[in-house]
């Protein structure tokens, strides 16, 4: 039976905080839907103190942002985008259109059709999340999306140069400097100056995530997102320093970001807890990471590797770092996770920034039923059918007629019967 050496705050406390977020977002969305650009501008001023003449950047403004970056930074952005583009292309190449004759004269098929217009949100108010631009814009481009609109908040009172560069280099068609609920609402609902998109993608804070949840249905979304989650699964093959580093590396995302150690070693568990406190003394982002660890951190000691897998699948966390003497065994036996990071030589930061897999991943147990953002999320798999012979439509029609009668659908039955009557004569 597993033991919890450290537990997070109660579910009730978490739910109360989320209820406040939900109510706030409902009011903001209603305001933007009613008043359009005027509401967007007022909210941008209120939340970000940002009220430019135009939220959309001109080509000259975009180039100015790029020009302010040194060549090394631009090279780093190119390298990261190359890795993400390469893996996205590998994924895209795995998706094949199909067309088969399933009965004599009956052709069934499907086509993979990219979306027409996608809105990408790139968070950046607290930290300029350059990598999020790669993950959404580059992947959408590989998928073949016709138009990519991007929004990111201002950073320290100006467009975030590195984010703008990444958006542009990734292939964005329009770049807006606008953050928060007002950004995702403007893209989803459309306003006088924002064309409405078909789908919203990209991470964000609790308010952005809730806005996407409430907008789902009017537009598609990549997935339901909550605070960043990280689960470190480790045994005595690694030490407390590495486990603590990997926990705090994700806890710094926000004060509600869960970071959990799951181990079969009480000694490693205690060593890691001590090391977390030691590292927090010098971590520059401790004002975020410390409350996340205090309120949402957990340390779980399991009796066996089998129990570790069972608990990990129940948690269904976004990021799962595995550092054990049997990493591939976890790959074979785990079923609920956003992305796996196998072995001590890799880590979640690689996936977040540069290695090539997408960092927009399911949270809040959504990994039970979906994976993360990938090229396929931007593509609709649409079926079609053709019946090429009179004999084929008569055969299918007779079956269809009887099945429609069984269900009591007279109009459906007549659709089939009409074909049977008409094409049986011609077939004869």
pLDDT at 11: 76
Whether residue 363 sits in one domain with residue 241: yes
**Beta strands at 106-114 and 379-387: parallel, antiparallel or unpaired:** antiparallel
Question: Do 231 and 214 fall into the same domain?
Answer: no
**Residue 175 confidence (pLDDT):** 98
The single residue listed with the structure tokens 């350059």 is 130
Verify that 299 and 416 share a domain, yes or no: no
The total of structural domains in the chain comes to: 3
133 with 253, same domain: the answer is no
For residue 85, is it within any domain?
Answer: yes
211 & 91 share domain: yes
Final residue in a domain of this structure, among 175, 205, 222: 222
- My answer on whether 304 and 368 are in the same domain is yes
The confidence score (pLDDT) of residue 295 equals 95
CATH number of domain containing 91: 3.40.50.1980
List, for residues 384-396, the tens digit of each pLDDT value.
Answer: 999 999 999 999 9
Answer yes or no: do 137 and 266 share one domain.
no
- 253 has catalytic annotation: no
Catalytic residue among 229, 253, 318, 359: 318
Name the pLDDT band for 273 (thresholds 50, 70, 90): very high
- 279 within some domain: yes
pLDDT at 127 over 90: no
The 10s digit of each residue's pLDDT in 57-78 is: 999 999 999 999 999 999 999 9
Q: Within a domain: residue 54? A: yes
Q: How confident is the model over 395-419, as a mean pLDDT?
A: 98
Region 2-23 average pLDDT: 84
Look at residue 188 and tell me if it is in a domain: yes
Q: How confident is the model at residue 201 (pLDDT cuts 50, 70, 90)?
A: very high
344 or 127, higher pLDDT: 344
pLDDT in tens, 313-336: 999 999 999 999 999 999 999 999
Residue 112 lies in a domain: yes
Report the predicted TM-score, pTM, of the whole model to 2 decimal places.
0.92
Same domain, 127 and 159: yes
Residues 108 and 252 in one domain: no
Mean pLDDT of 203-223: 94
Q: d(Cα 128, Cα 131) in Å, to the nearest integer?
A: 9
State the average pLDDT over residues 261-286.
97
Per the structure, the complete domain to which residue 249 belongs is given by 227-372
Task: Let me know if residue 154 belongs to a domain.
Answer: yes
Name which of 303, 330, 326 is nearest 317 in CA terms. 330
Same domain, 39 and 147: yes
264 within a domain of the structure (yes/no): yes
| Listed residues 222, 239, 256: the one ending a domain | 222
Kindly report the backbone phi and psi dihedral angles of residue 11, in degrees, each rounded to the nearest multiple of 5, phi listed first: -60, -35
Same domain for 193 and 257? no
The stretch 79-98 carries a mean pLDDT of 98
Residues 146 and 29 in one domain: yes
Phi, psi of 107 (to 5 degrees): -110, 125
Residue 1 lies in a domain: no
CA angle at 75 for the pair 71 and 79, rounded to the nearest 5°: 175
| Of 192, 222, 252, the domain-final residue | 222
> For every residue of the chain, which 3-state class applies, written as one string?
CCEEEECCCCHHHHHHHHHHHHHHHHHHHHHHHHHCHHHHHHHHHHHHCCCCCCCECCHHHHHHHHHCCCHHHHHHHHHHHHHHHHHHHHHHHCCCCEEEEEECCEEEEEEEEECCEEEEECCCCCCCCHHHHHHHHHHHHHHCCCEEEEEECCECCECCHHHHHHHHHHCCCEEEECCHHHHHHHHHHCCCCCCCCCEEECCCCHHHHHHHHHHECCEEECCCCCCCCEEEEECCCCCHHHHHHHHHHHHCCCCCCCEEEEECCHHHHHHHHHHHHHHHCCCCCHHHHHHHHHHHCEEEECCCHHHHHHHHHHHCCCEEEEECCCHHHHHHHCCCCCEEEECCCCCHHHHHHCCCCCCCCCCCCHHHCCCCCCHHHHEEEEEEEEECCHHHHHHHHHHHHHHHHHHCCHHHHHHHHHHHHHHHHHHC
Other C-beta atoms within 10 Å of 34: how many? Answer: 9
> Among the options 16, 319, 359, 391, which is catalytic?
319
């Amino acid at each position: 039976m597993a033991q919890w050496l450290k537990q997070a705050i109660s579910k009730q406390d978490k739910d109360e905080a989320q209820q406040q977020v939900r109510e706030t977002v409902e009011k903001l969305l209603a305001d933007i839907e009613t008043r359009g650009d005027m509401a967007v501008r007022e909210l941008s001023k209120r939340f970000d103190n940002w009220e430019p003449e135009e939220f959309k950047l001109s080509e000259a403004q975009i180039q100015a942002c790029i020009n302010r970056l040194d060549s090394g930074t631009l090279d780093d952005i190119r390298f990261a985008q190359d890795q993400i583009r390469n893996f996205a292309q590998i994924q895209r190449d795995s998706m094949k259109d199909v067309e088969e004759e399933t009965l004599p004269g009956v052709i069934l098929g499907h086509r993979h059709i990219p979306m027409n217009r996608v809105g990408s949100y790139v968070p950046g108010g607290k930290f300029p999340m350059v990598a999020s631009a790669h993950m959404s814009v580059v992947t959408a481009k590989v998928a073949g999306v016709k138009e990519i609109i991007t929004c990111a908040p201002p950073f320290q009172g100006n467009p975030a140069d590195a984010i703008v560069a990444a958006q542009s280099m990734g292939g964005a068609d329009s770049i807006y400097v606008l953050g928060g609920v007002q950004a995702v609402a403007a893209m989803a609902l459309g306003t006088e100056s924002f064309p409405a998109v078909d789908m919203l993608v990209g991470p964000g804070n609790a308010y952005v995530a809730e806005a996407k949840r409430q907008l789902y249905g009017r537009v598609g979304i990549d997935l339901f997102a909550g605070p960043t989650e990280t689960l470190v699964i480790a045994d005595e093959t690694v030490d407390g320093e590495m486990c603590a580093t990997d926990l705090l590396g994700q806890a710094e995302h926000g004060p509600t970001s869960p970071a959990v150690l799951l181990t079969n070693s009480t000694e490693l568990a205690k060593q890691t807890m001590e090391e977390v406190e030691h590292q927090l003394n010098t971590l520059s982002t401790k004002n975020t990471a410390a409350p996340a660890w205090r309120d949402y951190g957990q340390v779980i000691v399991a009796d066996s590797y089998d129990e570790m897998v069972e608990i990990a699948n129940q948690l269904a966390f976004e990021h799962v770092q595995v550092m054990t003497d049997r990493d591939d065994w976890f790959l074979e036996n785990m079923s609920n996770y956003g992305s796996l990071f196998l072995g001590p030589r890799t880590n979640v930061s690689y996936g977040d920034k540069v290695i090539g897999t997408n960092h927009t991943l399911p949270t809040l147990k959504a990994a039970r039923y979906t994976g993360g953002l990938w090229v396929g999320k931007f593509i609709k798999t649409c079926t079609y059918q053709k019946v090429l012979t009179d004999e084929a439509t008569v055969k299918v029609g007779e079956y269809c007629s009887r099945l429609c009668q069984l269900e009591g659908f007279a109009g459906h039955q007549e659709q089939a019967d009409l074909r049977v009557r008409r094409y049986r004569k011609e077939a004869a």
